[in-house]
A and B are shown apart, each in its own frame.
Chain A
């Protein structure tokens, strides 16, 4: 069970081998996380993340393999993660995502479709199953990794940003649908983060490290913020950016 400070004990992380998910998991384990189930597509990385969780204080970990390109796998992946958790699940982190290569993907129908599957369709399928289970439990939190790129989609990453935009808006409605169920959903909108996913890309303003994102997320979790921006100042930066006239927006963001 989660305690009075919003520190969960039983955690399921979907996309558990991503750098941001691992940083969040470590901090959760350093607080109260006891059981951590990590689900992802790479067993080696998941095992590494599981060892890390134990190092940081978890006492039970397990892993679940799935392929986010196979939308039909979502339900079983969630069911299996919950079964391995054994008890109530206090927090589900949805950190499944693929940045892709916009230049290559945008002319390839299969690749564009894959970007939608991994970043939107699989997460929505999984969240549907998560929602059913947590509502039946009568308590629990869902943390969904969105992106500031979802607030206004840039031409240079419209497949990723567009899919995240779909997920982000859908989750706003999903969060409201949970009112009165004992379950809550919180969105995380990080700016650019230095991870394996962004390696080799040019660094933009307000780029942070994964630990800083994780710190912001942990604070936002316990405060119950509906949308957690990282770094927090991006909330105000995007309040301006999103309303820029298109020619100006293109000039600023699509260099």
Chain B
């Protein structure tokens, strides 16, 4: 056991916790039974305070490893502490890809289930939870095998449940068959937000993968100019030389904290300009590697240190199709307040799954990276919360570090059901994280 200072990927609210690294399900159960205030942690990629519990016990899942044999239908048993990078290094050479991947490979399967992560194919394939067949879950009330048919209530509380129903030890996933390690990508540049949104509504369904990068720093006619990239896995017929090679680990790293203020309105605007101009007006059928297409930021480790000592927050919300003007108004609010924001990510979501706290709902989602510092930022985000709530939308808990408990209760109407199930498997409220305490999800 060691006492460690932990924080999320945004590096905003550090906390001291006891860190344990159990190596088996029995050890997890034993540690959990002794702890008051315990939460699992994988690679620490949630942005806020979801995978830490100050003064409590953090159960690092990285020794809960193991990747089983892949069945003919793509079903595989994976230890919860296995990262997507580790999983892909085994599966890609065999012609299998994870059914849903977030924008980084540096997350564990356990963490990905807890956040019910989504990717560029949500409009088609849903979130990761939709491809989980079964899990083993250690709770203070015992260890369960859960699936959509076995203990379905506990299963759907655990999918997107931010680790608060117990410690996931193994996950059974269905993988997606691929013929090559390439993606065929179409890229289009749009001069403003309305155009890119119209294009996404019109043709996203023709592509498995689709995402738009939006510039939130431009005003007026070019407000929300964007680059839309859409793609499909390349088949053997698409390529002259088909291969199946897993992406390499990162080669570069940010060696130290940048001075706070390196990312300011001026430098961010310059970066956005450069990035926008470097994209082609229109390019079709470009071959990209899986790593380049899905995980562009994985090329540089510790990139979060670029935001300096005060760190950054990410704000991601989802609203229904009928509320698409919230996307426009949110970007307007940001660009007019002068709060700097790196390229925002805009995506269409397909239907929600049964996860009680799962984030995606059918419609639009926008994600923003915002350095902490500008005095106006907390107020601007509180305003955006109101906009999102009025539209019946919600903010992603895995990215959150500043919501209020009142806002969360409205955004996630099934929270009472979730807390009831949590209380059943955790009657003494032993499972907690700083996020859960902040948002009143512990269940007292």
Residues of A within 8 A of B (CB): 1-5, 7, 9, 31-32, 34, 87-88, 136-139, 180-182, 219, 223-224
Instruction: List B contacts of A136 (CB < 8 A).
Output: 55
- Contact between B16 and A1, CB atoms less than 8 A apart: no
Instruction: List A contacts of B14 (CB < 8 A).
Output: 139, 182
- Contact between B54 and A34, CB atoms less than 8 A apart: no
Smallest CB separation, A201 vs chain B (Å) = 33
- Contact between A4 and B54, CB atoms less than 8 A apart: no
- Contact between A87 and B54, CB atoms less than 8 A apart: no
Q: Is B326 located at the chain interface by the 8 A CB criterion?
A: no
CB-CB under 8 A for A1 and B313, given A7-B378, A181-B16 = no
- Contact between A88 and B55, CB atoms less than 8 A apart: yes
Instruction: List B contacts of A9 (CB < 8 A).
Output: 438
Minimum CB distance partner of A87 in chain B? B437
- Contact between B13 and A4, CB atoms less than 8 A apart: yes
Instruction: List A contacts of B405 (CB < 8 A).
Output: 34
Instruction: List A contacts of B372 (CB < 8 A).
Output: 4-5
Smallest CB separation, A133 vs chain B (Å) = 10
Instruction: List B contacts of A1 (CB < 8 A).
Output: 13, 49, 54, 434-435, 437-438
A–B complex contacts, Cβ < 8 Å, 12 sampled: A1-B54, A1-B434, A3-B12, A4-B48, A4-B372, A4-B401, A31-B378, A32-B404, A87-B437, A139-B13, A139-B434, A223-B310
Smallest CB separation, B179 vs chain A (Å) = 43
Q: B377 is contacted by which of A5, A31, A87 (Cβ under 8 Å)?
A: A5
Minimum CB distance partner of B405 in chain A? A34
Smallest CB separation, B359 vs chain A (Å) = 18
CB-CB under 8 A for A182 and B15, given A137-B54, A139-B55 = yes
- Contact between A4 and B10, CB atoms less than 8 A apart: yes
Which residues in chain B, 357-408, are within 8 Å of chain A measured between CB atoms?
372, 375, 377-378, 401-405
Q: A180 is contacted by which of B5, B48, B311 (Cβ under 8 Å)?
A: B5
Q: A3 is contacted by which of B3, B17, B401 (Cβ under 8 Å)?
A: B401
Taken together as a complex, chains A and B put the C-alpha atoms of A223 and B5 apart, in Å, by 19
Taken together as a complex, chains A and B put the C-alpha atoms of A182 and B377 apart, in Å, by 24
Instruction: List B contacts of A138 (CB < 8 A).
Output: 3, 15-17, 54-56
Contact with A along B406-444 (1 / 0, CB 8 A): 000000000000000000000000000011011000000
Instruction: List B contacts of A31 (CB < 8 A).
Output: 378
Q: B313 is contacted by which of A4, A34, A180, A181 (Cβ under 8 Å)?
A: A4
Instruction: List B contacts of A180 (CB < 8 A).
Output: 5
Smallest CB separation, A2 vs chain B (Å) = 6
Smallest CB separation, B6 vs chain A (Å) = 9
Q: Interface size (B, Cβ < 8 Å)?
A: 30
Smallest CB separation, A109 vs chain B (Å) = 44
Taken together as a complex, chains A and B put the C-alpha atoms of A224 and B434 apart, in Å, by 20
Taken together as a complex, chains A and B put the C-alpha atoms of A136 and B3 apart, in Å, by 11
- Contact between B15 and A3, CB atoms less than 8 A apart: no
Instruction: List A contacts of B311 (CB < 8 A).
Output: 4
Taken together as a complex, chains A and B put the C-alpha atoms of A181 and B15 apart, in Å, by 8
Taken together as a complex, chains A and B put the C-alpha atoms of A34 and B439 apart, in Å, by 11
- Contact between B54 and A88, CB atoms less than 8 A apart: yes
Instruction: List B contacts of A137 (CB < 8 A).
Output: 54-55
Taken together as a complex, chains A and B put the C-alpha atoms of A248 and B251 apart, in Å, by 62
- Contact between B5 and A88, CB atoms less than 8 A apart: no
Which residues in chain B, 39-75, are within 8 Å of chain A measured between CB atoms?
48-49, 54-56
Taken together as a complex, chains A and B put the C-alpha atoms of A223 and B309 apart, in Å, by 10
Smallest CB separation, B72 vs chain A (Å) = 46
Smallest CB separation, A7 vs chain B (Å) = 7
- Contact between B55 and A5, CB atoms less than 8 A apart: no
Instruction: List A contacts of B3 (CB < 8 A).
Output: 138
CB-CB under 8 A for A182 and B375, given A4-B13, A88-B437 = no
Instruction: List A contacts of B55 (CB < 8 A).
Output: 88, 136-139
Q: Which of A2, A7, A181, A224 has the most CB of B within 10 A?
A: A2
CB-CB under 8 A for A3 and B54, given A9-B438, A34-B405, A219-B375 = no
Smallest CB separation, B17 vs chain A (Å) = 6
Apart from A139-B13, A181-B16: 20 A-B pairs, beta carbons within 8 A: A1-B13, A1-B49, A1-B434, A2-B438, A3-B401, A3-B438, A4-B10, A4-B48, A4-B372, A4-B401, A4-B402, A5-B372, A34-B405, A138-B3, A138-B15, A138-B55, A138-B56, A139-B54, A182-B5, A223-B310
Smallest CB separation, A185 vs chain B (Å) = 15
- Contact between B402 and A3, CB atoms less than 8 A apart: yes
Instruction: List B contacts of A224 (CB < 8 A).
Output: 310
Smallest CB separation, B253 vs chain A (Å) = 24
Instruction: List A contacts of B402 (CB < 8 A).
Output: 3-5, 7
Instruction: List B contacts of A87 (CB < 8 A).
Output: 437
Smallest CB separation, B396 vs chain A (Å) = 14
Minimum CB distance partner of A31 in chain B? B378
Instruction: List B contacts of A223 (CB < 8 A).
Output: 310
Smallest CB separation, A130 vs chain B (Å) = 15
Taken together as a complex, chains A and B put the C-alpha atoms of A90 and B39 apart, in Å, by 20
Instruction: List A contacts of B48 (CB < 8 A).
Output: 4
- Contact between B16 and A3, CB atoms less than 8 A apart: no
Taken together as a complex, chains A and B put the C-alpha atoms of A181 and B54 apart, in Å, by 10
Instruction: List B contacts of A5 (CB < 8 A).
Output: 12, 313, 372, 377-378, 402
Taken together as a complex, chains A and B put the C-alpha atoms of A1 and B442 apart, in Å, by 12
Contact with A along B288-311 (1 / 0, CB 8 A): 000000000000000000000011
Q: Which of B15, B375, B377, B403 has the most CB of A within 10 A?
A: B15
Taken together as a complex, chains A and B put the C-alpha atoms of A219 and B374 apart, in Å, by 11
- Contact between A3 and B13, CB atoms less than 8 A apart: yes
Taken together as a complex, chains A and B put the C-alpha atoms of A158 and B404 apart, in Å, by 45
Smallest CB separation, B335 vs chain A (Å) = 21
Smallest CB separation, A177 vs chain B (Å) = 14
Minimum CB distance partner of A5 in chain B? B378
Taken together as a complex, chains A and B put the C-alpha atoms of A88 and B377 apart, in Å, by 26
Smallest CB separation, A92 vs chain B (Å) = 15
- Contact between A139 and B15, CB atoms less than 8 A apart: yes
Smallest CB separation, A94 vs chain B (Å) = 21
